[in-house]
Structure 1
Amino acid sequence: MENKTILITGAGSGFREGTAIGLAQSGYQVIAGVQISPQVTSLRNKAKELGLEGNLRVEKLDILDHFDVEYALTWDIDILFSNAGKGEAGPVFEIPIELVRSNFETNVFAPLDLAQKFIAKWINEKRGGKVVFTSSMGGLFTPPGFGIYVATKHALEAIAEAMLDELKKYNIKIQTINPGAYLTGYNETMSDNAFRWLDDSKNFTKRDEMKATFASLLDKPEGRLDPKEMIDAMIKIVPSDTGKFRNVVPKFVEDMIKEHQIKAWDVEI
């Protein structure tokens, strides 16, 4: 697999940047797609400092920009690691619908479009391939305050599960990776997004109430995990030819989700 080329979207920060660097250090050919030009410069400089210019290529790839997408389709890749996304938070019964649409556009429609295009390319070329979607622990349950974001991840779970069976005859593999609450700044920034629009004079949900909800989920050790654990897992999972379809990390989160799903059958209104 070391000769395989891996395209990572959303590689400008967090897990994805760390994984891009780690895979390149492991000898894989990596194309790191980042959203904006300053991220290109920053990651190229890191690649140079680490002596990785030979196998860590950095390109601008905004998955919502059709010119970027069409250019990306000229690249010869074996694995698409689909990470690019954003998060909107706040009460589902009050969040502005335009933010919901935007979150689905970035987290569901654009990743699906890119995956479809690469899958069609592989099928036409009569070759195998692999798509790995970064979902979330939230793709498997729904905490309060994050309903819209995790709805996009629930959608990705359904898309990936359907693709898993649909693409077996073409030797195209599908996986999801479901990170727990790692401290990359992503969850904290997503929480902040709610306060762009929550207004105590207009909304039923008050700002202090929303802050308390977020704090109850994130301001504890299991909400602030060391991201190195997740990066190390991604470096192993993404290039592998075998493995589980769904990959929840860490194990205690997988166990918590399984317990939650069993209890869900007995929830009453």
Structure 2
Amino acid sequence: MGTKKVWFITGASKGFGLEFINQLLAKGDAVAATSRSLSQLQTAANTTHENFLPLEVDLVNEQSVAKAIEATIAKFGRIDNIVNNAGYGLLGTIEELTDAESRQNFEVNVFGSLNVIRQALPHLRAQKSGHIFNISSIGGFVGDFPGFGIYCATKFAVNGFSESLAEEVKDFNINVTIVMPGYFRTNFLESDSLVTPKNVIADYQSTRDSQNFHQNQMNGNQPGDPVKGVSAIIEAAGEANPPLYLFLGSDSVTMAEKKINMLSKEIDKWKALSTSTDF
């Protein structure tokens, strides 16, 4: 394949995923892109480029994922970079959200990515190379957003399994990067990407305020440029020693630094009690 890389991108019909298609094809790489709707993906991508393979995939169905990975190998001969980008937001308190609503967010945001990784790894191990990008969120590092508890839990889960995965696959020359964007100006806060609970409890005013802020004030005014965000991820893919944690956006960095500072102070404050439990 020379210098051309083969990318497998999930959730590619909008947002970061669609921007990946545009930038990667422009730089001469090959892209296998997935979406729940093939027609929607083809319309959004608007290309018949020979290096583009659109695929309709149900990420929570492991057989569907397996077929997509095999189709990619069949067309391009290999996979170099995986981008687990598919996912959606869920805005509701722990009490409001039903078990089904919560589990579905985990099915897509966590188990969908695990399905892709599980099916791709035999190929990456065999070729002794690869890079897995798991698109998490600053909400996978900082959880103090009213109404985003379950969504944050899915992203904390992504961060956790990614750290372990990075250790498991490093002997095969496979890299793992956890990408944690802040607020980027995509359609993430639109109704087709941000789900709200069926059963709303009026007492939770802070959550309703958070919902109003995200849907009516932040939406369309996010500080992050998705073109620059995707470009940064592609740049990281070209590094010999890429980061495990890639915070994207000045807001993401600021929130992470605030969390780290808070943890440092809390550890120091309670160190005597924390360390008093050893034999």
For Structure 1 versus Structure 2, the TM-score category normalised by the shorter chain is: 0.7 to 0.9
Between the aligned partners of 1:58 and 1:153, the Cα distance in structure 2 is 26
Q: Which runs of 5+ in 1 are unaligned?
A: none
Question: Normalising by the residue count of structure 2, what TM-score does the alignment of the two structures yield?
Answer: 0.82
Between the aligned partners of 1:54 and 1:133, the Cα distance in structure 2 is 26
Partner of 2:146: 144
Partner of 2:188: 186
Between the aligned partners of 1:257 and 1:222, the Cα distance in structure 2 is 23
Q: Does 1:34 align with 2:35?
A: yes
Q: Write the letter of the residue equivalent to 1:37.
A: L
Q: Does 1:115 align with 2:110?
A: no
Would you say the 8 A contact 2:15–2:186 is kept in 1? yes
Between the aligned partners of 2:52 and 2:148, the Cα distance in structure 1 is 34
- 1:3-52, Cα deviation, whole Å (9 max, x unpaired): 221100111111110112111111111111112132233145x124xxxx
Partner of 1:59: 55
Partner of 1:232: 231
Moved more, 59-68 or 184-193: 184-193
Would you say the 8 A contact 1:217–1:223 is kept in 2? no
Q: Write the letter of the residue equivalent to 2:159.
A: E
Between the aligned partners of 1:100 and 1:127, the Cα distance in structure 2 is 37
Would you say the 8 A contact 1:31–1:56 is kept in 2? yes
Would you say the 8 A contact 1:43–1:58 is kept in 2? no
DSSP 3-state at the match of 1:196:
coil
Distance 1:253 1:175, change over 3 A: same
Question: Normalising by the residue count of structure 1, what TM-score does the alignment of the two structures yield?
Answer: 0.85
Would you say the 8 A contact 2:134–2:178 is kept in 1? yes
Q: Does 1:213 align with 2:220?
A: no
DSSP 3-state at the match of 1:156:
helix
DSSP 3-state at the match of 1:167:
helix
Between the aligned partners of 1:79 and 1:88, the Cα distance in structure 2 is 28
DSSP 3-state at the match of 2:91:
coil
- 1:139-184, Cα deviation, whole Å (9 max, x unpaired): 1101111111111010000111111111111111111111111121
Between the aligned partners of 1:103 and 1:83, the Cα distance in structure 2 is 14
Moved more, 236-245 or 89-98: 236-245
Partner of 2:108: 106
Distance 1:38 1:169, change over 3 A: same
Partner of 2:261: 262
Between the aligned partners of 1:119 and 1:195, the Cα distance in structure 2 is 36
Q: Which runs of 5+ in 2 are unaligned?
A: 74-78, 270-279
Identity %: 24
Moved more, 184-193 or 71-80: 184-193
**Superposition RMSD in Å:** 2.6
Moved over 4 A (4+): 220-223
